[in-house]
Amino acid sequence: MKKVAFETVGCRLNQYETEKIATELSLCGFQRVEFDRPADLYIINTCTVTGRADATCRNIISRAGRMEGSPPVVVIGCYVESDPDAISILDGVDLVISNKNKAKAISIIKDNFPNLFDDIDDVPSVSKISEFHQHNRAWIKIGDGCNQRCAYCIIPLVRGELKNRPVAEISDEINTLSEAGYNEVVLTGIHIGQYKYGDIDSPAALVKHLLNNSTISRLRLSSIEPQEVDSKLLEVMKEGGKRVCRHLHIPLQSGSDRILKLMRRPYNSDRYLEIVRKAKETIDDIVIGADIIVGFPGETGEDFKESVKIAESGLLDYLHVFSYSDRPGTASMEMPDKINPEVIKHRNSVLREISNKLYTRALAREVGNEAHIISEHRDRKGQHYWGISDNYLKVAIPINRGGGREILKMKITGCTNKHLIGEFIK
């Protein structure tokens, strides 16, 4: 069997698209191996959301180019879409495939490397996946692209306009994964809050439809814009009980109304807090996280204090903190008053420290509760597994009970500042 190795950088949508390509290659007779192992083909699915993501992709491409025997290296994804000429001239790159051609990736690879496809005349195209490599939870693509043109964001430029996936296709794929033993799927896309297809006119309607037309044990929403977390969605989540995860990731980006306006974000800080407060009041023990960008052009010390103020409002449970970096083609790249990198670094560290405290507090609140957990991966020392609760808290699972896809019930008896500890409930 021919061997193929994948490396994926970036978001869950990228990870889903890698799995789809892997499924199609498996039908062509390819065996999947880890990226550091010898293979006949290496595929790198790239991200370009930040300058750091670009650098990570270049490093991975360089590693692949040094593999013994110089097997073909194919680079696909958002970094390719952003700067195909820069990617194509990197040492070791044999083929680049843009996002708009991702769906035809196997045919393009076959046309360029026919010797890898002996006796394969027609390459397959699949509409669903049944396996998510080395994951006990699966991501489900519900849409692609984005029509919201935030000043700092390159994603609409490399992913294009919003295009949602047929609801029947989504529910069929979820049922296939459920039959394969998966108990949690994560609905993912660039702008999931704008999901509409046919009679399904909102994320709330989609979740309700999937609960009624799938056998999956529980659904989780990935990142969703604040203006799209409405009362209908919260009520559907609440009514779903254990079948809808008590977790929302709601990007903030800045606590300063002035900076939010420059970012072209369609809400202000008061509206954001109102939305998060309503979610907390509606769903017991929900965990809410937020993205915050530090160092956006023109961000003053006072603007940053406004971000700190919301972070410490008592309504958020963790933060994903990003340091601003110019992205080609975005409005913010042309803005004046760029912030000193050392100032950005300091602000990043301040918010990360706050995030650690928020998360520790969220863990402590869970002590005494019952948690429903799925294993994610084994710890590096092999002493236990790490799992995730439905409300997105990290849990240590004894080595003899972890590793599978089943939902484990635990009574939470304690916590460290990084994870929960508990006893199994029969």
Residue 350 sits in a domain whose CATH number is: 3.30.750.200
Query: Is 125 within a domain?
Result: no
Domain around 293: 247-366
187 contact partners, CB below 8 Å, separation of at least 6: 140, 142, 170, 206, 207, 210, 219, 220, 221, 222
Please indicate, yes or no, whether residues 104 and 40 belong to a single structural domain of this protein: yes
Q: Is pLDDT of 1 > 90?
A: no
Res. 58 pLDDT band, cuts 50 70 90? very high
Please indicate, yes or no, whether residues 161 and 95 belong to a single structural domain of this protein: no
> Taking a C-beta distance cutoff of 8 angstroms, is the pair 22, 6 a contact?
yes
Res. 8 pLDDT band, cuts 50 70 90? very high
CATH code where residue 83 lies: 3.40.50.2300
3-state SS, residue 384: strand
**Segment 320-360, tens digit of pLDDT:** 999 999 999 999 999 999 999 999 999 999 999 999 999 99
Instruction: State the pLDDT at residue 279.
Output: 98
Tell me how crowded residue 413 is: count the other CB atoms within 10 A of its CB. Answer: 11
Instruction: State the pLDDT at residue 311.
Output: 98
Query: Is 308 within a domain?
Result: yes
End-to-end alpha-carbon separation of the chain, Å? Answer: 44
Q: Which helix (H) or strand (E) holds 413?
A: strand 408-415
Tell me how crowded residue 228 is: count the other CB atoms within 10 A of its CB. Answer: 18
Please indicate, yes or no, whether residues 158 and 98 belong to a single structural domain of this protein: no
CA 268 – CA 64 distance, rounded (Å) = 45
**Segment 37-48, tens digit of pLDDT:** 999 999 999 999
Instruction: State the pLDDT at residue 126.
Output: 87
Instruction: State the pLDDT at residue 274.
Output: 98
Instruction: State the pLDDT at residue 252.
Output: 98
Instruction: State the pLDDT at residue 365.
Output: 97
State the average pLDDT over residues 389-414. Answer: 95
| CA atoms within 13 A of residue 226's CA, in its CB half-sphere | 24
Please indicate, yes or no, whether residues 253 and 232 belong to a single structural domain of this protein: no
Q: Specify the pairing of strand 73-77 against strand 41-46.
A: parallel
Which of 23, 204, 33, 41 has its CA nearest to residue 125? 23
Res. 278 pLDDT band, cuts 50 70 90? very high
| Token output for 277 | 């407060």
219 contact partners, CB below 8 Å, separation of at least 6: 184, 185, 186, 187, 207, 210, 211, 240, 243, 244, 245
Instruction: State the pLDDT at residue 17.
Output: 97
User: At which of 117, 141, 157 does a domain end?
Assistant: 117
User: At which of 61, 86, 117 does a domain end?
Assistant: 117
Query: Is 123 within a domain?
Result: no
Instruction: State the pLDDT at residue 223.
Output: 98
Q: Is pLDDT of 412 > 90?
A: yes
Q: In what order do the strands lie in the sheet with 184-188?
A: 138-141, 184-188, 218-221
User: At which of 318, 349, 366 does a domain end?
Assistant: 366
CATH code where residue 154 lies: 3.30.750.210
Please indicate, yes or no, whether residues 273 and 349 belong to a single structural domain of this protein: yes
Query: Is 122 within a domain?
Result: no
Please indicate, yes or no, whether residues 227 and 144 belong to a single structural domain of this protein: yes
> Taking a C-beta distance cutoff of 8 angstroms, is the pair 154, 329 a contact?
yes
> Taking a C-beta distance cutoff of 8 angstroms, is the pair 137, 31 a contact?
no
CA 415 – CA 368 distance, rounded (Å) = 10
CA 367 – CA 106 distance, rounded (Å) = 49
> Taking a C-beta distance cutoff of 8 angstroms, is the pair 309, 256 a contact?
no
Please indicate, yes or no, whether residues 15 and 58 belong to a single structural domain of this protein: yes
The single residue listed with the structure tokens 């009574």 is: 411
Please indicate, yes or no, whether residues 220 and 296 belong to a single structural domain of this protein: no
Please indicate, yes or no, whether residues 205 and 224 belong to a single structural domain of this protein: yes
Res. 73 pLDDT band, cuts 50 70 90? very high
Please indicate, yes or no, whether residues 98 and 183 belong to a single structural domain of this protein: no
Res. 12 pLDDT band, cuts 50 70 90? very high
305 contact partners, CB below 8 Å, separation of at least 6: none
CA 121 – CA 44 distance, rounded (Å) = 25
Angle between helices 301-311 and 341-366 (to 10 degrees): 10
**Segment 179-212, tens digit of pLDDT:** 999 999 999 999 999 999 999 999 999 999 999 9
Query: Is 126 within a domain?
Result: no
Query: Is 167 within a domain?
Result: yes
Query: Is 108 within a domain?
Result: yes
**Segment 81-131, tens digit of pLDDT:** 999 999 989 999 999 999 989 999 999 999 999 999 987 888 888 889 999
Number of domains forming the structure of the chain? 4
Q: In what order do the strands lie in the sheet with 95-97?
A: 30-33, 2-8, 41-46, 73-77, 95-97
Please indicate, yes or no, whether residues 196 and 295 belong to a single structural domain of this protein: no
Query: Is 376 within a domain?
Result: yes
Q: What's the count of helices (H) and strands (E) in the chain, helices before strands?
A: 13, 18
Please indicate, yes or no, whether residues 335 and 386 belong to a single structural domain of this protein: no
